[in-house]
Amino acid sequence: MKSSSPICKIGRLYHSRKALAIPVTFLILFVSTLFMVAVTYYFAVERISAKSQSIKVSLARENMMGLDEDLSSVLWQSTSSRTFDFTDCGGQLKVEPSANQLSINITDNNSIYSTIFNDTAGCVVYELPYSETADTGLFLKGDTRAVLNQSGYSMTQLYIRKGVQHAEIMLQYRPKVSYVATGTEGNKTVNNVRIYIVSLNSSQTIELMGRVPLRITCESTVNSVTSYDVNYQPGPLIVTASVGEFSGQVPVPVSSTSYGAIVNVELVLCKVQIERWVR
């Protein structure tokens, strides 16, 4: 049997390597394609997940704004009530009646000084699902002022804050002050100062996920008056309040005569109850 020449051997080796190169090339292309598909799929899933979480956060905002709207509609109207269906936004709804300490002091930097309110006012918190765009610090309604003395501004403070695990939407109510001088009594100008407070501390403690039907009831509106009769011309009455993480003060002008002034400080407390509604 004749042995193959060196040229024939080289030719066969060349063709065998060429034949082997074809499936190797396809294998490399196949693996590369699988890798590209996997990477594309991963980023697509991440993008869809992020968009889904963003939608849930937007829905939670709308729900909290709707809750505030319904709650505001029953204020100062004893026994009036509304129902609100809090939809599933992927987080947890918390009604915390024993949270949110509210303290209110008044002074004219002379003989008038009193702590006229010091109790929990309650709050509603919605713990959001994880989101990279929760807008922590954003106010959906209201602002950082802890007390108001201007008409046209809402008592609502609805804002997004940093929670223990996730961002939270916080709903609470700050006091509001009004003032009017109503004539004289005993040669002294009579000043009526009215301070409005909304308290949720008679609400039911709630910590629930998913859909939560609620009933909102204005239990009562309680008025109490403290009078201060001074024989000097007082400066403005300073009302200082701290509610939750905010604090501040507002001046209230006090009219007087040379004989002095009478300052009637009326506290108007609206007690609102939030409870789970079982149909």
Per residue in 65-116, pLDDT (tens digit) is: 999 999 999 999 999 999 999 999 999 999 999 999 999 999 999 999 999 9
What one-character-per-residue DSSP string does 88-115 give?
Answer: --SSEEEEETT-SEEEEEEE-SSS-EEE
Q: Supply the DSSP symbol for 205.
A: P
| Integer Cα distance of 108 and 51 in angstroms | 54
Q: Supply the DSSP symbol for 5.
A: P
Residue 72 backbone dihedrals phi, psi, to 5 degrees: -65, -25
- Please tell me which residue, 43 or 125, carries the higher pLDDT value: 125
pLDDT of residue 13: 46
Amino acid identity for residue 17 in this structure: R
Q: What is the pTM of this model?
A: 0.81
Q: Which two structure tokens, joined as six digits, stand for 261?
A: 């002034």
Q: Which of 219, 225, 223 has its CA nearest to residue 275? A: 219
pLDDT category, 234, cuts 50, 70, 90?
very high
Residue 198, H or E segment: strand 188-199
